[in-house]
Amino acid sequence: MSDKTALVTGCSSGIGYYLALELAKRGYYVFACARRLESMNELTKLYPNKIITFKMDVSSIDSINEGYKFVNNKLNELNLSGLDILYNNAGSSCTFPAIDVPDDALIQCMNTNFIGPVRIVHTFSRLVIAKKGTIAFTGSAAGYCPFPFGSIYGASKSAIGQYASILSFELKPFNVKVKNFITGGVKTDIADKRSLPEDSIYNINEMKAAFETRQRMSERNNPMDPKIYVVKAIDEIENGWSSTVDVYLGTWSILPRLVAIFPRFLILYIFTIKFHLTGVWKALSEKYKQE
């Protein structure tokens, strides 16, 4: 029997769901968590002896502490010593104009995408060190590209990218690898479906189509099948260079590299066209010039 172990957050659907399946297929004992147990019922049906589901909300420190107790107890029951992979996958979208982000959306996004993973690493790191394992993060191209109406989501992913970079440096003496998967388009249901706030300065007729285009950006750009994505991600963890932290995966994951090379004015021009913002900018300028 294999003694390989992994913990994956955000396993109710999408990348997390398929990560749990792929890891179990490769012989790992998988601790799969999400905010709702019932959302992971299918995982335990498919791999009843390999996937262990439990409830953990990464945005709650109390839930993380309870999750640690559960995992640690189960490891002891199975006579296992730690975690080979700690995969921080749980995420929350946030698509609003920067000056209009509702406070609850701000807190939810930062807690789930940045503060939560930092707390997860703090709480579970000794279990990873015990196995000289890997800590992974589902990052995003949005953390490096000035996508309109994605300031908070982008900030959370940019922050986790820098955290991963320094974490890798600091964990080198313990032979722990760190991977930040800078993710482009993947076919998941993470799109933010919330409307603009009623009092938003951008709430004009010309904005409706552009805002919908932005919200559905990933699904309209030939997103990668999550089953393919997770195979590539786990292959990188198992066989990739230990010194490589940033790994680009998903449709158009190359965008951050292009953004770093080309002049900002050109990137903004391209995004203005791509997200149908020319008419929006003109209408806003005219409206508030008159007022």
pLDDT digits (tens, 9 = 90+) for 156-205: 999 999 999 999 999 999 999 999 999 999 998 777 889 899 999 999 99
State which amino acid sits at residue 167: L
- Give the model's pLDDT for residue 215: 85
Give every residue of the chain whose pLDDT is below 50, as ranges: none
State both tokens at 165: 């970079």
Query: CA distances (Å), 141 to each of 156, 258, 279, in order?
Result: 11, 11, 26
**Catalytic annotation, pick one of 28, 144, 153, 202:** 153
Q: What is the pLDDT of residue 63?
A: 98
- Return all residues near 38 (Cβ < 8 A) that are at least 6 apart: none
The one catalytic residue among 4, 50, 131, 157: 157
Per the annotation, the verdict on 202 as an active-site residue is no
pLDDT at 2: 78
Residue of 4, 12, 18, 144 marked active site: 12
**Distance (Å) of CA 121 to CA 90, 128, 228, 251, 277:** 13, 9, 26, 28, 39
Give pLDDT, residue 171. 98
Q: Are 93 and 190 in contact (CB under 8 A)?
A: yes
Looking at residue 207, what is its pLDDT? 93
Residue 157 annotated as catalytic: yes
- What's the pLDDT at 229? 97
Report how far apart the first and last C-alpha atoms of the chain are (Å, whole number). Answer: 72
Residues in the chain, overall count: 291
Q: What's the pLDDT score for residue 291?
A: 60
- The span from the CA of 247 to the CA of 168, in Å, is 13
Grouping H, G, I as helix, E, B as strand and the rest as coil, residue 184 is coil
Assess whether 144 carries a catalytic annotation. Answer: no
